[in-house]
Amino acid sequence: EADIYQTPRYLVIGTGKKITLECSQTMGHDKMYWYQQDPGMELHLIHYSYGVNSTEKGDLSSESTVSRIRTEHFPLTLESARPSHTSQYLCASRGRLNSPLHFGNGTRLTVT
Amino acid sequence: AQKVTQAQTEISVVEKEDVTLDCVYETRDTTYYLFWYKQPPSGELVFLIRRNSFDEQNEISGRYSWNFQKSTSSFNFTITASQVVDSAVYFCALSDANTGNQFYFGTGTSLTVIP
């Protein structure tokens, strides 16, 4: 079973600040994903990566950026946080084709 | 185009009742995979089951069972003798074999089990 970790679990930050949400997995999965989700609502794919140095934007337009320098690490950065960024951010990874997505515990971000 | 529809937005049942969560999918591919996830109030998504398009056998795991019917493009999830701990949002998802890197999630069904 995949182990995937997200930090911080909760974050409250002021408008205009730069933040980075961390996501790491220990299973050597090539594919990693970031989803944005308001509590209990549908998931929106914002970024994904199929391997090192590969990143793509997802279906939902996002002002965030990602990087994939190492297989195990897929951080998401907001250069200037706004109240509209308040949401839960879920990181996921996947091994072989058509295997399940394994999710981290999520980061609940509040921008004041 | 791939699409997953969960028409039930919210369901409430009394503890010990059975409940079925509906999932209807669309895909042009003949090979695809279907999934169910549970999201409790704590927020993480927990994988429950994966089923491929060539295996229409129903599956039972404890109080959980899944009914896959290709003829109606449905993959329904039944909880028998519901418990308060079953209260969560449940998501159905589709991954097709050709673009297997992408997941298509339904909008989720929020289940509340009343003690």
The confidence band for A97, taking pLDDT boundaries of 50, 70 and 90, is confident
Average pLDDT over residues B32-59: 91
Cβ–Cβ contact A1 with B under 8 A: no
Percent of chain B whose predicted confidence (pLDDT) is above 70? 97
Q: What's the full length of chain B, in residues?
A: 115
pLDDT of residue B99: 64
Q: What is the pLDDT of residues A29-88, one digit of tens each?
A: 999 999 999 877 889 999 999 999 999 998 877 789 999 999 999 999 999 999 999 999
pLDDT of residue B91: 97
Asked whether residue A1 carries a pLDDT value surpassing 60, the answer given is no
pLDDT of residue A89: 96
Using a CB-CB cut-off of 8 Å, the residues of chain B touching A105 are 42-44
Question: Residue B70: helix, strand or coil by DSSP?
Answer: helix
Cβ–Cβ contact A27 with B under 8 A: no
To 10 degrees, the CA torsion angle through B112, B106, B48, A38? Answer: -60
Residues A6 and A104: beta-carbon distance below 8 Å: yes
Partner-chain residue, chosen from B43, B47, B91, that has the shortest CB–CB distance to A88:
B43
Using a CB-CB cut-off of 8 Å, the residues of chain A touching B105 are 42-43
Cβ–Cβ contact A103 with B under 8 A: yes
Question: Residue A84: helix, strand or coil by DSSP?
Answer: helix
Kind of pairing between the strands at B64-69 and B74-79: antiparallel
**Block residue for tokens 């994988």:** B47
Average pLDDT over residues B5-10: 96
Task: Compute CA distances A47 → A12, A36, A74, A97, B91, whole Å.
Answer: 22, 9, 10, 18, 20
